[in-house]
Amino acid sequence: MSDLWDDVEKKGRGTMKLRKLFLLSGTVALAGCAHVDPNPAFHELANTVHLRTGKRVQWNRGSAQDAEAQAAVASLLSRPLTAGSAVQVALLNNHRLQATYEELGIAQADLVEAGLLRNPIFTFERRFPGQALEMDVLKEFIDILLLPLRKRIAAAQFEATKLRVAHEVLVTAAEVRAAFHEHQGDQQLVDLRNTVAAATERSAEAALRMHEAGNLKNLDLATEQASHAQAKIELAKAQSEATQSREKLNKLMGAFGEQTNWTVASRLPDLPGEEVSISQLESRAIQQRLDLAAARQEFIAQARSLGIARADAILERAEIGAHYEREISGEYAIGPSVNVPIPIFNQGQPAFARASAKLRQGQQRYLALATDIRSDVRAARDRMLLARQQVEYFKSTALPTRTRVTEESQLEYNAMQIGPLQLLQAKQDEVKTGADSVEALRDYWVARAELEKAVGGSLGGKILQFTSDKESENHH
């Protein structure tokens, strides 16, 4: 092979031109080298998440910050969890989110690749016996022509990926908040069911003693024993639900091993003093939801693809280049080379039709998502408001009424006008009503978290959109 190149180098000006062509190709290749750095995109995502949740995110890629994030997780889990700290643990510790962050690296690589020319093709032919040879350097013509448009398409797709990843983070945060309140309410119900079970046990024991003394009928004894059995069943059910909701929260937080030994505050927070305005929640969601913004970017990418679909299909294998040929006699020739497809059978109509269909498909998917978002907002809003009404009714009417019944029963028991079983029943009914009020309060906070998820973040104040570093600095 070295002898061959030595022979080629002796062929004068034609060979020098070919060498210059190779040198130029190498220069273009070096100029086309690009650095793939997804960090700026992740910084944008982190800014958006912080503005909407007040929490930080960390992309674990073997840096010193990874250890800091794990130390923060351990510190948060060592204290009783709040809804906010549970969200922070999930954003730092959830491995599914870490896998989702890698979509940024993939999309960044696709964007960089879209801005690079495809490598030219070098062909070499040698005839045996003899010394005749041919060489070609070919480059796709359409690749050069459509490079700027392909970069614009890739840029829209990259924006869509950033928005989708940010949306997944916000969805996870909302789901963690809902799961936390669900488990907190379940744990509070376990405590109340324990109280009911203890009360029914005392009532059943008292009924048994009265029955043995001949002061209670068989039916009344059986009724008290059945009531205690039902209370134990409800306690077991509450414990099972609390266990399941705890594991649901563990999964969302990415907790395992010793990380699962966390505790929560035993009581749900009270209702907020004032409810958020619900008049513009649908329009707020349309402006804030990042998955809808991602669908919009996908639609933009499809629209840009439509503009090059036919030309790309017709000129897909069009090539330009340089050809060198040397005969056995020593004569040589060098000149341009052009390969152009003749659009006889395929004139690009299928490609254009396909791109048009994808464009219409993207439009309909965007509109369908917007419709679903509005429906999700209305449903979550109604659940939250109904749960709030129930909590307020329990607080203003149901619980005070039950408390008054218990107090009156206590007075009548002190006056020996009713027996101990009636007093215990009144107290049991009061505790059961309290349990129902806890369920309503739990449902309120879960529905509120679901509404935040449906709206895409803030329920009030300034409407938030995907932000850059500069925008984030302006907010602060």
> CATH no. for residue 79?
1.20.1600.10
pLDDT in tens, 348-400: 778 788 888 888 988 999 999 999 999 999 999 999 999 999 999 999 999 99
Q: Check whether 10 has a pLDDT greater than 50.
A: no
Residue 272, preceding peptide bond in cis (omega within 30° of 0): no
pLDDT (mean) for 186-205:
88
Nearest-Å Rg of the Cα atoms of the chain is 36
Is 270 a domain residue?
Answer: yes
Is 400 a domain residue?
Answer: yes
Q: Check whether 298 has a pLDDT greater than 60.
A: yes
C-alpha distances out from residue 203 to 217, 219, 229, 306, 433, Å: 15, 14, 12, 77, 18
Which domain, by its residues, includes 129? 34-475
pLDDT in tens, 145-174: 777 888 888 889 999 999 999 999 999 999
pLDDT (mean) for 8-25:
40
Specify the range with the lowest mean pLDDT, choosing from 145-154, 428-437, 465-474. Answer: 465-474
Is 268 a domain residue?
Answer: yes
Residue 143 or residue 168, greater confidence = 168
Is 393 a domain residue?
Answer: yes
Helical (H) or strand (E) element with 296: helix 290-306
Banded pLDDT at 57 (limits 50, 70, 90)? very high
Other C-beta atoms lying within 10 Å of the C-beta of residue 299: 22
For the entire predicted model, the pTM comes to 0.79
Q: Are 174 and 450 in contact (CB under 8 A)?
A: yes
Is 193 a domain residue?
Answer: yes
Segments of 366-470 assigned E as strands: none
Is 88 a domain residue?
Answer: yes
Banded pLDDT at 227 (limits 50, 70, 90)? confident
> For residue 186, what pLDDT is reported?
94
Residue 355, judged by CB atoms within 10 A of its CB (0-12, 13-18, 19+), counts as buried
> For residue 192, what pLDDT is reported?
87
> For residue 130, what pLDDT is reported?
65
Q: Where are the alpha helices (DSSP H) in 33-133?
A: 39-53, 64-77, 83-93, 95-114
Is 297 a domain residue?
Answer: yes
Banded pLDDT at 3 (limits 50, 70, 90)? very low
pLDDT (mean) for 326-351:
74
> For residue 342, what pLDDT is reported?
73
Query: How far is 297 from 149, CA to CA, in rounded Å?
Result: 15
Specify the range with the lowest mean pLDDT, choosing from 54-68, 82-96, 238-252, 458-472. Answer: 458-472
- DSSP tally for the chain: helices H, then strands E: 15, 4
> For residue 474, what pLDDT is reported?
41
The torsion angles phi and psi of 125, rounded to 5 degrees, stand at -130, 135
Is 26 a domain residue?
Answer: no
Q: Check whether 90 has a pLDDT greater than 50.
A: yes
Q: Check whether 29 has a pLDDT greater than 70.
A: no
The torsion angles phi and psi of 241, rounded to 5 degrees, stand at -65, -35
Look up tokens 């509005």; give the residue: 374
> For residue 203, what pLDDT is reported?
83
Query: How far is 126 from 15, CA to CA, in rounded Å?
Result: 16
Number of domains in the chain: 1
pLDDT (mean) for 105-124:
79
